[in-house]
Every structure is written in C-alpha cells, then in structure tokens.
Structure 1
Amino acid sequence: MSVKIIAVAKSLPEFSRSTEEILPFLDLWLSEQDDRFRKKVKKIFENAMVDQRYSIMSPEAVFGTASFEERNNIYITEGIKLGKACLQAALEKANWNARDLDYIITVSCTGIMIPSLDAYLINALNLRQDIVRLPVTEMGCAAGISGIIYAKNFLKSNPGKRAAVVAVESPTSTLQLDDFSMANMVSAAIFGDGAACVLLSADENEEGPEIIGEEMYHFYNSEELMGFHLSNTGLKMVLDAEVPEHIANHFPAIIQPFLKKHEVSLEDIDHLIFHPGGKKIIQVVEALFEHSGKNILDTKEILRQYGNMSSATVLYVLERFLDKKPAKGSLGLMLSFGPGFSAQRILLKW
C-alpha cells in the first residue's frame, strides 16, 4: 500500500525578533553575572547561525517573571491557534475538506495540556466524531518524523484513508531565568517557536512523494544526553555537549543499513531533509557528507530564518522541498534526532 505526503504548511506566532534585537534583553537578564560570562553568552547567540526567531510571547514576557502556570497557559492558548492555522493551511493546499481526515496526530514537548491539542482541533475545525487521534509527547525534536511514521503505519493497511500530523512547539516558553548553565544558554540561543502540519494519504490517485521506508534508531544508555527536567519553575533543558560527537559516532549505523535495506546508497539520494538541531550538529553532518557532494543548505536556511522549533523544524525543511517540486523518481532522506537518544529516518520517492 502506497502512502504519500500530500501537503505541508506552517504557521508562526505573532512575535518575532532578530538576534541583534534580542541582545539587549540578555544584558538585563544576565546583569548580575560577571562580564566574562555575559560576553560568552552573547557570542553564543551571535554565532548560533540563527538570524531570526519567533515566539508565542513578547521578548519582555519571555525574559519576564511569569510563572510556570502562566507560561503554560499561554502555550495552550497560542498552541491551539497555531495548530488550527497550520492544519487549515495544509487542507487548503491539498484541496481537502476537514471532514476528509481519518487520523489526527499531534506532537509537542514544550508544554503540558490535557486534553491534548488534537481534541481542541476536532472542535475548532469540526472534524469527524469518529476520527482516530494520537497525541505524541516527550519525543522532542524527533517527533515530527515520528508522527509521520505513525501516520504511515495507520494508513498502509487502510486504502483511501487520510491523516494529518500537526506539530506545535514553544521552546521559548521553557526558558529558565534562574538557570545559568550552558545547556540553558545554548537552548535560548538556538530555539524558537513554530507549528507545521503534514497531510498524508493512502489514496493511489493523490500526488506527492511516497514514503518507501521508515525506521527509528535508538542509542543505548544515552537517556541523559537530551530532554527536559520538570522542575518547580517549568521544563528545564537537558542538553549534553557530547550530543554532536555521539551522532558522528553512530552516523554510519544510522544511515548505511537503512539505505541498503531499500537497495539504495547515499549517492542515490537527491535531497537531504535534515532537522537543524543547532550549529554544532549541522557542522558534524556537513563534515560527514563533505566527500559525497551532498549539501544541507535548506536545513541551514531554516535554522537561520526560524531557529530550532523542536519537532516542527524538519517539517519546515520538508515544505521547502515540496515547494521546489522535485523531479519524478528523485529520492529524499529525512532525518531528525531527539531524546532517548534516538534518530528517526524516512526515505521518500517523488
């Protein structure tokens, strides 16, 4: 059974600032830290390869004294708006009606809401009462691809069915103002907020790249590398400096057996659709591909324009490739990394 990606659409919060405009807020936030530390943090921001970022809150609120509850309430309210907007935009792109959907999968890790986002979207867009819903949480940056994998598994044995994957993230609302660790500084420098929706179909008559392979890869004994610690003040970033090194060490095992299973090699891949985890991860991936003639320019451009929006970011990269209308028969490799530690992979054929 062929499962295809039909459309991708994004939605962005109302607040946006360039990195240059954020720097004065760092001065206020870090005013009681020593001068050397402040300069180091500014350099992290300036060299993060992020020119612009969006947020569900104004910079004054992000760097303000709002409680965990207050920030999470904004996450819920604004997250519903962003989820509705990107789902509507994707449906319009595909020329689908909201009631055409059979499955809805929502992914997020940057806030807490029960009922989950999918329940609100059912009411907001009058989706069918028998729609199957699946909220995916706690998978971090990998969850955008995870959601597509779950949707593919729903659809592959259900001819004619349709699914939506909606990713909504607000890393800026998790900023910990009393945490001066490098993990929190790097997180603040690379992350931004955003949402995206992917529509998939098991209808043979629809046009779009086909998912011809999908797999997850789990790093043993690496739970401490990445994630969140739920503290009294909210979600506190866990980000080990050795993440890029671990990715480099595992990269051959992540890529080569997966491609070999589908009787293709890296040389056969035309489009690299990678999640922009941050500057160091991008540099590692670029170095691994430097002799192959491949590039991840689209990944770098998304990081530059929006920052790392956790699970939604790789979907922004995917949208860029769909908009280019790749040649028939060309192959695309999607890849993202997330807590666990894990890597998620999808092989696409146009």
Structure 2
Amino acid sequence: MTRVLAVATAFPPHRHTQQEITEVLASRLPSGADAALLRRLHAAAGVATRHLALPLDRYRELGGFGHTNRLFVDLAVALGAEAVERALDEAAVRAEEIDVVVSTTVTGIAAPSVEARLAARVGLRPDVERVPLFGLGCAGGAAGLARVHGLLDGRPGRKALLLSTELCSLTLQPSDTSTANLVAGSLFGDGAAALVAVGDGRDAGAAAAAPGPVVRATRSRLYPGTEHLLGWEVGDWGFRMVLGREVPELVRLHVAEEVESFLAGHDLKPRDVAAWICHPGGPKVLDALADALGLPDSALAPSRRALAATGNLSSASVLQILRDARAAGPPPGAAGLMIAFGPGFSSELVLLGW
C-alpha cells in the first residue's frame, strides 16, 4: 500500500469574485456576442471566488501562444515550488529524501518540465526519478496518485512527490464565443497542489504510523467513441476548449456504473464510502454523479465547496479536496473514493482507506 503523508496547496495572490471576472470577460466579448449568455453561465457555475495567475487588467496584454506559454512556465514553477515546500514541511520529509516525483499539468507546455525546473530550487536530489504527465486534463491529479501508488507499492520506505500545477486562466480565448469557451471561462481557476507519499509497510519507519489515507486500489478507464467530447484544440492561438454537452450524461451512464463495479470488487457499495473526493467538473457533472449513485447531498458537498471557493482547478482540484478530507479526519477504517474525469473521455478512480 501507499500512505499519503501530506497534501498542500498554493494559489496566486490575485483573488477575485465571480462577479468581477464576469464583468471583465463580458467587456472583452467581440461585437455582437451574447453577453447575456456569458452572464447566465457564470451565475450558474457554482463559483463564488477564484485565484488568477495575473491581475485582471493584465489579461488584455496577453499575446500569442509563445508569450502566454512563457508566462505559464515562469509562474507555474514558482507556484509549484511553493506547494512542494509546504507539502514537504507538513510531512516532515526533507526534499533530498524524495525518490520519485510525478508532475501533471494540462495548461501549458514546458521542456524541461515543471518538476525539473523547480528541482534545484526546492532541494530535490539530482538522481530523483521524474515522471511528467501531460494530456490527462482534470483526471491528472487522480491519475498522478495512481501512478505514485504503482511506483511505491511493495517498496516500503520509498518516498514520492506528486505535483499538479494548473494555470487555467492563461488558456482562455477572449475572441472565442463558443459555448465551450464561455463555460470554461465561468468555471476554471488557477492553483497548484503537492502530495507526499511513502511506500507503506513495516520497514517504512515512523511514516507507516502516520494518519491516512492509504491507497488500496486504482482503476483507469477509457470510454471508446468519446474522444471528441473533451480536450484541447491546439493552434497558433494556444489551447481552445473542446467540451461536449454530452459530458454530464456520460458521467451518469458510464462513470456511475464504473464506480459501482470498482467498489463491488472490494466488497463495497456507494453507501459504504465515507469520503467522496470527486473532481468538481461543474454543477451538472456533480448532479449527474450524485443522482446516478443515489448519493446524499452531504457526499459531494466538499466538491461543491471547493468549486465555490476556488473554481475548477483541473488536475489540482482532487488534491485540494483530499487535503480537506484529511483535515476533517474520517474515522479509522473509513473508505474514501477519489474520482476524476478527463479527455479520452476517461475516468480515474482511487480507493482510499483511513
């Protein structure tokens, strides 16, 4: 098993209400665009505040993809380093003790990757194993934890770092009036999250007795024929959102069945899960999942609170919600389930235990 020792987050200092962001984006719409639609989407997004990588007035200055991506690299490295240092401090683990680092992002391109650029800054060893992930979208945080588990399982005492850094605001296309882009502009925020984990076992020392959770099992799933429903269209302008209106129904029809099958393989039912760590893909996605699984309002309340406080942070959101679940302290023996969705269309499930 893999034991999570710490989860920490970091956010840019530019925090705005949803109303402030709504009015700025409405003022930048092309002539003839439907500002009323933008306002309706923002009002229905379930978001109250968000952190942005830049001050609101600087988004007018953004140029082409090259300029925006250079900003992403600089800001992501600084924010990622902040999250990593907080997680290491919380775990009481020195940076040089980390044996492997998995990093994920889908909002910018960096080669060397983000974890390589911050390695010396935070004190990681030059021989640390690195596993950078790209293209998993909002599923990246859950998939990253699953990859960490695969790298640590059966290796007691080996320590890993998972880093998610997402600057979603830098991908927004002001001239794109498609519903997909307007929805993205209503939901996504910026932030980073880092997690420290250890291969659990008798040889893992004091870390083996630390509070949970432990990773008990994982499952990845692609749903054939849905590749066109979620992801990026990449061009000279940068990243343009692809978001099919069918996504909530996919969650209702396929992901709920996947969740029930996964839990049944471990002699569990949805009612046995004490901590739901579900990616806050938006109110419609959360409603579809809760309805299909017959969940009480309290089950996905942590996801709705995270969405309201910071918006959808793409891959970092489930780590933020896991941080809050650890702080709440589920009782010993409780089961938790991490769920996230991404391009493909895909789902990632991680079964946790306290």
What TM-score do you get using the length of structure 2 for normalisation?
0.95
Contact 1:276 1:302 (8 Å CA) reproduced = yes
Give, in angstroms, the shift of residue 65 of structure 1: 4.2
Query: Structure 1 154/61 Cα, relative in aligned 2: closer, same or farther at 3 Å?
Result: same
Contact 1:267 1:292 (8 Å CA) reproduced = no
Alignment of 1:154-173 (within 5 A): 154-173=151-170
Q: Distance in 2 between matches of 1:52 and 1:63?
A: 20
Query: Structure 1 78/3 Cα, relative in aligned 2: closer, same or farther at 3 Å?
Result: same
The aligned residue for residue 267 of structure 2 is 263
Query: Percent identity of the aligned residues?
Result: 30
The aligned residue for residue 47 of structure 2 is 50
The aligned residue for residue 272 of structure 1 is 276
Bigger drift between 332-341 and 264-273 goes to: 264-273
Bigger drift between 52-61 and 163-172 goes to: 52-61
The aligned residue for residue 149 of structure 2 is 152
Letter in 2 for 1:8: V
> Which of 295, 313, 317 is the equivalent residue of 1:313?
317
Alignment of 1:164-313 (within 5 A): 164-204=161-201, 205-206=206-207, 207=210, 208-290=212-294, 295-313=299-317
Letter in 2 for 1:145: A
Letter in 2 for 1:20: Q
Give, in angstroms, the shift of residue 259 of structure 1: 0.7
Does residue 9 of structure 2 align to residue 5 of structure 1?
A: no
Query: Structure 1 294/22 Cα, relative in aligned 2: closer, same or farther at 3 Å?
Result: closer
1:15-47 CA distances to partner (integer Å, 9 max, x unpaired)? 11101112321332125125xx11111111111
Contact 1:104 1:131 (8 Å CA) reproduced = yes
The aligned residue for residue 103 of structure 1 is 100
> Which of 326, 329, 335 is the equivalent residue of 1:331?
335
1:262-299 CA distances to partner (integer Å, 9 max, x unpaired)? 12121211111100001211121222244667621000
4+ residue segments displaced more than 3 Å? 289-294
1:240-268 CA distances to partner (integer Å, 9 max, x unpaired)? 11110111110343111111111212121
CA RMSD in angstroms comes to 1.4
1:112-167 CA distances to partner (integer Å, 9 max, x unpaired)? 11000111121112211221001000110000011111110010132210000000
Letter in 1 for 2:28: W
The aligned residue for residue 342 of structure 1 is 346
Letter in 2 for 1:118: E
Q: Distance in 1 between matches of 2:60 and 2:303?
A: 28
Give, in angstroms, the shift of residue 100 of structure 1: 0.8
Letter in 2 for 1:179: D
Bigger drift between 285-294 and 262-271 goes to: 285-294
Instruction: Return 5+ residue gaps in structure 1 as ranges.
Output: none
Report the secondary structure of 1:39's partner residue.
helix
Letter in 2 for 1:165: L
The aligned residue for residue 84 of structure 2 is 87
Report the secondary structure of 2:195's partner residue.
strand
Contact 2:271 2:295 (8 Å CA) reproduced = no
Query: Structure 1 102/284 Cα, relative in aligned 2: closer, same or farther at 3 Å?
Result: same
Report the secondary structure of 1:214's partner residue.
strand
Q: Distance in 2 between matches of 1:14 and 1:60?
A: 14
Give, in angstroms, the shift of residue 63 of structure 1: 4.2
Give, in angstroms, the shift of residue 66 of structure 1: 2.4
Letter in 2 for 1:28: S
Count of aligned pairs: 347
Q: Distance in 2 between matches of 1:348 and 1:249?
A: 24
Letter in 2 for 1:308: N
Q: Distance in 1 between matches of 2:139 and 2:186?
A: 19
Query: Structure 1 223/271 Cα, relative in aligned 2: closer, same or farther at 3 Å?
Result: same
Give, in angstroms, the shift of residue 228 of structure 1: 0.5
Does residue 34 of structure 2 align to residue 30 of structure 1?
A: no
1:101-120 CA distances to partner (integer Å, 9 max, x unpaired)? 00001100100110001111
